[in-house]
Amino acid sequence: MTAPTDTPLKKQSKIPWSIVYFVGGILYTIFAIWLFMDGTWPILAWICTISAPLGFYYAWGAWKQEKRNRDDA
């Protein structure tokens, strides 16, 4: 019999991090395109353009980690 204090402290996240990072990369891409078309904030547009691939890179890394954890279980 287990006591309520014996429950694991680390709970599983409901939304996978790979999806969160992927959506963030898409949003940065859309924002960069919108800023380039507007033309009023070109520096911010370049920052978003550089940041968008990072979101996709982190999504790929999180997907690999989630897959590795799923295979180990």
Task: For residue range 9-63, list pLDDT tens digits in order.
Answer: 566 657 888 888 899 899 999 999 999 999 888 999 999 999 889 889 988 898 8
Q: 50 lies in a domain?
A: yes
Q: In 3-state terms, what secondary structure has residue 61?
A: helix
Residue 23 lies in a domain: yes
pLDDT higher at 72 or 46: 46
Residue 20 is part of which domain span? 16-72
Q: How many domains does the chain have?
A: 1
Distance CA 71, CA 31 (A): 36
Residue 44 domain flag: yes
Is pTM beyond 0.75? Reply is no
Closest CA to 65 of 17, 12, 31: 17
Residue of 37, 35, 58 whose CA lies nearest to 45: 35
The reply to whether 6 falls in a domain is: no
In whole angstroms, give the CA distance from residue 64 to residue 17. Answer: 11
Res 6 pLDDT > 60? no
